[in-house]
Structure formats: structure tokens, C-alpha cells
């Protein structure tokens, strides 16, 4: 059963592939951020079907990831998770955000409103450090997630 | 000559393609399973201190890092010339058993159950785990829960569910806390209920898959796996045993150290995956299989009563040495049942909380070999170090390499049965992929993928023209 105000933040990526580890860095920052108190923060390499139950219990799901979409490195995008999966997306041990929401609804009866927050990468070569532009963009990424949490809480109040 | 290319193969761990060559009459004349990704860990490790190897080797795979940790740590302990504390042996066993559960659950439920439940001829668009969730929610729930059960044990023991750092040269880094033990034990009844339900479902439906079972890599071969001294199945320790298709004991309790005396490694120009073969029979006649089907063929018994009952039923129905690789699925479920019981037994021993969990030493030998069972089969690590303990040379033989010859023969066998003519049908190609899924090959998938995994199949004529094309 989801509870109004229950916020689940799943930060994902590969922490040893440079900027693809932005999600893990965000998870660290959000876990220490007093503005995010009460939200559940998970760091994962990928989205997997095992997350469906946790997702079903949330009233807001925020997915934090690195993006290879064209744009300025370190810039942040916020957009709702689409209802339809990307064309050609395969279904294996990891799932895309849309499939994860569909699994939550199918197996556990409900899925939350879901928003993706992505930061554009500069370098995803092997390494544990973020590039300078992505590191500089992390505060903006965290603020974007906090804004979503605050908006959601106001809506639920 | 016409060629069909399946690129990439879907619902497996990693990146590969299949090519099928047809003659002028549209009959299959040859087929290959190509592994198209290159990792290079044997080279990357050169110059690293040997004690870093387990953590480095775990990065080979995001699904079965624990097996690499164990094989690598055992190799390091040969170099250190130490015996590790008994409780460390048992704690490693618990983590490896948990990995078996989560990896086997992934293979059976997430990757293969869409074919089994929905049918090999079902519409490809819905033939996936979401389709399973819609058609049989309990089956999907059991899959999700069992994978989570295994992953959570790994996370509770090692701090992370992927690439845990707990297994180190000499043992494990810290002892087990009582509350973690109790938490894991509390999850045992639910996990048992779920695997029992799944086994019942599988056995009730197995007759529906008789056609596939008859041709899915169904041929005599050797089988290899680890066994304990008493013939029980072994995953983290034990010795190697090899039997042939009739059960003749080819080798028993052999030391892995001179594996090069009995295992040959061959390289083909069309794949980055080595093919390993039994030297006495030569290449490629020395084909053998590892993994769940092979393990159940080489052992005398599982070693836990309920799993032994299931093994007895399995052997009564399929014979003592089943040859069809389709039965990897059934063997996988029996292994899950055993692993859950074995975890419970190990954690119920009060000695599991002992705090002497690590032996400490430097490099006292220049060479070491370590072996463990990964979910997909036997895993061998072999390192040589210099006088400072830096890696000079490394060789890894992974389960999928042991199975490479069998997978290729299986692809050819299934293609000959199901692929005819010059018009491609998705369902016949799915069966060619499905025989690969039986082996659950792990081509390493630890990298977070950004992008898509389309399947493109082209039928190419003798002059290189595209005669037909399918994409999904």
C-alpha cells in the first residue's frame, strides 16, 4: 500500500564508468541532505524487476541517472517517465523505467507518479571520478530532486 | 551459400550473435555462436598486487561476482600458502549459495520462463517477463522474490549486492553478526515455499516442452563439476569430477592445479570466447558440459534431504545421466531448493559466528590455481606472481568457455530442426536463441548499458544481397 508523501529515489548507473556514476554520487549527496529526510534513497547499477515492490509502495518515484542525450555536459533534465517504453528496448535482467512501473502495477497493484532526473555526461570511460562539468552540475541535480520532493509533499499536504 | 545472422542474441548475459549458413536448397549446413565482446581481464591484471585480484576479478561480472571472488581468493591463498579458518570457508559457502539462488532465479524466471509459459511461438513483443507477470502473476512474484532473497543475503554479508568486497585473500573481511544471521534465517520458509511452488509448476508442464527437450543440445558428452569427498554437490570447494554420457568415471577428485594436463583451450577466429576441451579426446571431440545439468550428472547426491528427493524424481524421469540441455532448467530449480536448505543448515551452526575469519600472509609461492562453481559451471583462475607479489600472468577459464563447444553444437542441432528455406520466422529463431539460454551463458554484463538491444536478423544470399530481414 502506497502512502501519500512516500518518496522513493532510485539513483542508478555504473560507478566505475566515469560520469555514468553520477547517480551514485547523487545518492550520497541526497542521503546526507537534510531536505531529503524521509525519502528513501537507493543506489543501483541498473533498474531491475526486484525494485517493483518498493516502487509500488511509493507515491512518488524519482529516477536519477546519467544521460548520453545531446546537450551541455552537466546540464540537468527533468521529465515524466513515458507511458510507453522506448522502441526496441529489450527485456532481460534489467528493465527500463516504463517497464518497471508496469511491473509494479501488474504484480503489486499500483505504481506511483514517476519522474526522471538526468544529468548529461561528458566522459564515461573507466574511472571512479566524475568529470568537472558533471561534478559542477551535481548541486543542480540534487536541487532538482529536492524540488520534486517539496512539490509532492505540498500536493499531499 | 546463404547466411542468417541473429545479432544480438537476446535474454542472455552479454553480447553475442548467431550465424546460420544455408545451402542452395535452404538446408542448414553450419551454425556458430559468436561472442562479440572483449574484456581482457587477464591482461588488465598484469602488474597488480596479487591481493587486489579478488576485487578486480569480481568486476568481470555483475551477476556472478561471488564465484569470481571465491576462485580468485582461493588462487591467492595458494600463493600465500595458507589454509583459511573453517568459519571463513562456511561463510563463503553461504554467499556463493545465495548467488546461486539469485542467478538461477534470474535465468529461470526472467530470461527463460517467457518461452516456457507463453510458448516459443508466442508474439515476441509480449514474450518477456512483463508478459509472464500478466499471464501468471504468482510465477513472476516468486521469481522476483527469490532473486531478491539471494541478493539481500549477498548485500547483508558483503555490504553490496553487486561486487561485494567481503571475500578477501585469507578468508572474509569481518565475521557474521547474529542479527544478520537471524534476518537471513527468517527468510528461509518463504523462499522454500516459492521454489516448491515453482518446481511443481515446472513438473506439471514439462510434457509441453517435449519437442524442444528432444533437440535442445541433446547429445552425449562428458560432464564436469565439483563434488565433496562424500559425493555431495559442491559449489565453493570440493574436487573436480568428470563423467561420460554413460556414467563412466573419467576422472575423480582431481587436483585443478595441473588443469593444463587434461583441459585444452582452443581459439576460433569468429569468437572472443575460448573453447575448452578434454585433452584425451582432442578438439573438438573433447566436448564437455558444466553447470547445473552437468553438476547433477557428476554428483552422487545433493546433500540435503528434500533436494535429494527431487533429484531422485528427476533421475527416475530422465535417466541417471540426462543429455538434453533443456534439462538445465529443471536442474537449476533443484539446485535452488538445495541452496536454500544449505544456507539454513550453515547458518544454524553456532560456530558460524566465530570471529576468526581471516588468515594473513604475503606471497609464499609464485603460482596458484583456484576453482569454484559459478551458477553456470566450473570457474578456474590461475595466476603467476613475481618476487614482489605482482601478477605476471593470469589465465581464466569461465563456465561459458567450458560450454562453448556444446553451445555451438546445440545451435547447429536446433537450427537444423527448426530453420528451413529462405524465409525467416521469428519463432524458429527464438528456438535457436532458447537453446543458448538453457546454458545461461554469462558474457559479462557488469557495465551499465545506455541504449537499446535490438535484434536484427538478415538472410543474405550467395552474392551478399539481403533476401529477408527481421528486426525486434
* A100-104, B14-18, B468-472: least confidently modelled range: B468-472
**First CA to last CA across chain B, in angstroms?**
25
pLDDT score, position A83: 78
The answer, yes or no, to whether residue A35 has pLDDT greater than 90, is yes
The answer, yes or no, to whether residue B401 has pLDDT greater than 50, is yes
A-chain residues near B13 (CB < 8 A) = 92-93
The mean per-residue pLDDT over the stretch B194-219 comes to 96
Domain boundaries, chain B: 2-39+405-471
A-chain residues near B44 (CB < 8 A) = none
The mean per-residue pLDDT over the stretch A136-144 comes to 97
3-state SS of B220-233? Answer: CCEEEEEECCCCEE
pLDDT score, position B456: 42
Question: B126 CA to chain A: closest CA distance, Å?
Answer: 10
Q: pLDDT tens digit string along B324-368?
A: 999 999 999 999 999 999 999 999 999 999 999 999 999 999 999
Read off the CATH number of the domain in which A117 is found: 3.40.50.1450
Question: Does the structure's ipTM exceed the value 0.95?
Answer: no
Q: Which residue of A has its CA nearest to B137?
A: A107
| Residue numbers of B between 102 and 131 with CB closer than 8 Å to A | 106, 110-111, 128-130
A107–B10 CB contact, under 8 Å: no
Q: Which residue of A has its CA nearest to B151?
A: A50
Q: Which domain holds residue A46?
A: 7-156
Q: How many helical (H) and strand (E) elements, i.e. helices and strands, does chain B have?
A: 17, 16
Which residue out of A64, A92, A95, A125 would a mutagenesis test of the B interface target, given it has the greatest number of B Cβ atoms within 10 Å? A92
The answer, yes or no, to whether residue B388 has pLDDT greater than 60, is yes
The answer, yes or no, to whether residue B450 has pLDDT greater than 60, is no
A86–B147 CB contact, under 8 Å: no
B144–A90 CB contact, under 8 Å: no
Cell of residue B125, nine digits: 513483443
Q: Which residue of B has its CA nearest to A46?
A: B448
Q: Which residue of B has its CA nearest to A92?
A: B11
* Nearest Cβ partner for B452 among A66, A88, A106: A88
A-chain residues near B110 (CB < 8 A) = 49, 92-93
Contact B382, B72 (CB under 8 A): no
Q: Which long-range contacts (CB under 8 A, 24 or more apart) does B190-195 make?
A: B190/B145, B190/B149, B191/B101, B191/B145, B191/B146, B191/B149, B191/B340, B192/B337, B192/B340, B192/B341, B194/B142, B194/B145, B194/B146, B195/B142, B195/B146, B195/B333, B195/B336, B195/B337, B195/B340
Q: Beta-strand (E) ranges in A2-75?
A: 7-12, 40-44, 60-67
B134–A106 CB contact, under 8 Å: yes
**Contact residues of A toward B, CB < 8 A:** 12-14, 16-17, 20, 45-46, 48-50, 52-53, 66-68, 86-95, 99, 102-103, 106-107, 124
Cell of residue B228, nine digits: 565433496
The answer, yes or no, to whether residue B449 has pLDDT greater than 70, is no
The structural domain count of chain A equals 1
Question: B245 CA to chain A: closest CA distance, Å?
Answer: 33
* Nearest Cβ partner for A86 among B111, B140, B452: B452
- A:B CB pairs within 8 Å: 86
Q: Which residue of B has its CA nearest to A23?
A: B448
- CB proximity B47 to A under 8 Å: no
Q: pLDDT tens digit string along B226-263?
A: 999 999 999 999 999 999 999 999 999 998 889 999 99
B-chain residues near A89 (CB < 8 A) = 452-453
Average pLDDT along chain B: 88
Q: Is residue A2 part of a domain?
A: no
* Nearest Cβ partner for A93 among B106, B134, B148: B106
Q: How far apart are CA B106 and CA B450, in angstroms?
A: 21
B129–A68 CB contact, under 8 Å: no
pLDDT score, position B462: 53
Cell of residue B17, nine digits: 550473435
The answer, yes or no, to whether residue B465 has pLDDT greater than 60, is no
SS3 B176: coil
Residues near A131 by Cβ (< 8 Å), separated by ≥ 6? Answer: A18, A19, A73, A74, A121, A122, A123
| Residue numbers of B between 267 and 326 with CB closer than 8 Å to A | none
Question: B46 CA to chain A: closest CA distance, Å?
Answer: 17
The mean per-residue pLDDT over the stretch B77-95 comes to 97
B-chain residues near A17 (CB < 8 A) = 447-448
Nearest Cα neighbor of B450 from A21, A79, A37, A71 is A21
SS3 B454: coil
B-chain residues near A52 (CB < 8 A) = 144
Contact A124, A19 (CB under 8 A): yes
Q: pLDDT tens digit string along A112-138?
A: 999 999 999 999 998 999 999 999 999
Q: Is residue A1 part of a domain?
A: no
> Given phi > 0 = left and psi -120 to 50 = alpha, else beta, which region is B416?
alpha
Q: How far apart are CA B336 and CA B104, in angstroms?
A: 7
* Nearest Cβ partner for B148 among A17, A50, A87: A50
Contact B291, B403 (CB under 8 A): yes
Q: How far apart are CA B228 and CA B342, in angstroms?
A: 14
Q: How far apart are CA B231 and CA B418, in angstroms?
A: 39
A45–B130 CB contact, under 8 Å: no
Which residues are A148's β-sheet partners? Answer: none
Amino acid at each position: 500500500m502506497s502512502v501519500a508523501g512516500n518518496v522513493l529515489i532510485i539513483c542508478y548507473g555504473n560507478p566505475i564508468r566515469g560520469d555514468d556514476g553520477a547517480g551514485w554520487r547523487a545518492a550520497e549527496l541526497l542521503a546526507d541532505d537534510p531536505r531529503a529526510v524521509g525519502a528513501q534513497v537507493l543506489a543501483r547499477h541498473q533498474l531491475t524487476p526486484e525494485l517493483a515492490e518498493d516502487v509500488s509502495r511509493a507515491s512518488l518515484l524519482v529516477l536519477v541517472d546519467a544521460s548520453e542525450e545531446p546537450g551541455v555536459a552537466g546540464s540537468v533534465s527533468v521529465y515524466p517517465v513515458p507511458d510507453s517504453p522506448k522502441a526496441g528496448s529489450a527485456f532481460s535482467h534489467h528493465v527500463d523505467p516504463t517497464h518497471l512501473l508496469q511491473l509494479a502495477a501488474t504484480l503489486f497493484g499500483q505504481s506511483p507518479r514517476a519522474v526522471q532526473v538526468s544529468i548529461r555526461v561528458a566522459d564515461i570511460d573507466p574511472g571512479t571520478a566524475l568529470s568537472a562539468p558533471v561534478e559542477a552540475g551535481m548541486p543542480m541535480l540534487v536541487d532538482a530532486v529536492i524540488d520534486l520532493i517539496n512539490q509532492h509533499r505540498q500536493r499531499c499536504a | 551459400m546463404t547466411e542468417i545472422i541473429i545479432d544480438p542474441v537476446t535474454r542472455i548475459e552479454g553480447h553475442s550473435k548467431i550465424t546460420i549458413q544455408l545451402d542452395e536448397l535452404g538446408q542448414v549446413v553450419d551454425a556458430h555462436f559468436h561472442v562479440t565482446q572483449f574484456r581482457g581481464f587477464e591482461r588488465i591484471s598484469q602488474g597488480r598486487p596479487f591481493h587486489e585480484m579478488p576485487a578486480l576479478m569480481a568486476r568481470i561480472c555483475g551477476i556472478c561476482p561471488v564465484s569470481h571472488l571465491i576462485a580468485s581468493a582461493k588462487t591467492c591463498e595458494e600463493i600465500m600458502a595458507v589454509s583459511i579458518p573453517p568459519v571463513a570457508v562456511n561463510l563463503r559457502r553461504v554467499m556463493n549459495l545465495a548467488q546461486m539462488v539469485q542467478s538461477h532465479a534470474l535465468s529461470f524466471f526472467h530470461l527463460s520462463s517467457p518461452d516456457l509459459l507463453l510458448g516459443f511461438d508466442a508474439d515476441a513483443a509480449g514474450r518477456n517477463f512483463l508478459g509472464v507477470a500478466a499471464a501468471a502473476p504468482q510465477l513472476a512474484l516468486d521469481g522476483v522474490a527469490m532473486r531478491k532473497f539471494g541478493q539481500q543475503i549477498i548485500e547483508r554479508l558483503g555490504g553490496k549486492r553487486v561486487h561485494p568486497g567481503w571475500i578477501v585473500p585469507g578468508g572474509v573481511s569481518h565475521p557474521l553478526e547474529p542479527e544478520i544471521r537471524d534476518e537471513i534465517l527468517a527468510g528461509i520458509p518463504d523462499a522454500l515455499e516459492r521454489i516448491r511452488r515453482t518446481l511443481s509448476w515446472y513438473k506439471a508442464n514439462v510434457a509441453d516442452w517435449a519437442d524442444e527437450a528432444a533437440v535442445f543440445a541433446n547429445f552425449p558428452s562428458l560432464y564436469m563439476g565439483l563434488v565433496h569427498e562424500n559425493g555431495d554437490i559442491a559449489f565453493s570447494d570440493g574436487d573436480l569430477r568428470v563423467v561420460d554420457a554413460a556414467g563412466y568415471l573419467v576422472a575423480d577428485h582431481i587436483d585443478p592445479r595441473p588443469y593444463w594436463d587434461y583441459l585444452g583451450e582452443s581459439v576460433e577466429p569468429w569468437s572472443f570466447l575460448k573453447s575448452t576441451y578434454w585433452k584425451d579426446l582432442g578438439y573438438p571431440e573433447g566436448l564437455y558440459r558444466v553447470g547445473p545439468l552437468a553438476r547433477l550428472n557428476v554428483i552422487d547426491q545433493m546433500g540435503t534431504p528434500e533436494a535429494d528427493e527431487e533429484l531422485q524424481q528427476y533421475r527416475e524421469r530422465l535417466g541417471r545421466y540426462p543429455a538434453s540441455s533443456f534439462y538445465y532448467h529443471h536442474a537449476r530449480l533443484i539446485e535452488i531448493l538445495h541452496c536454500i536448505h544449505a544456507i539454513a543448515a550453515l547458518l544454524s551452526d553456532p560456530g558460524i559466528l566465530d570471529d576468526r575469519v581471516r588468515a594473513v600472509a604475503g606471497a609464499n609461492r609464485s603460482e596458484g590455481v583456484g576453482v569454484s562453481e559459478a551458477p553456470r559451471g566450473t570457474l578456474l583462475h590461475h595466476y603467476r606472481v613475481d618476487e614482489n607479489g605482482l601478477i605476471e600472468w593470469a589465465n581464466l577459464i569461465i563456465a561459458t568457455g567450458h560450454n562453448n563447444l556444446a553451445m555451438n553444437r546445440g545451435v547447429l542441432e536446433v537450427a537444423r530442426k527448426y530453420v528451413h528455406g529462405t524465409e525467416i520466422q521469428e519463432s524458429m529463431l527464438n528456438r535457436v536463441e532458447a537453446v543458448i539460454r538453457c546454458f545461461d551463458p554469462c558474457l559479462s554484463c557488469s557495465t551499465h548499458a545506455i541504449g537499446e538491444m535490438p535484434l536484427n536478423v538478415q538472410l543474405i544470399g550467395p552474392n551478399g544481397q539481403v533476401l529477408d530481414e527481421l528486426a525486434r
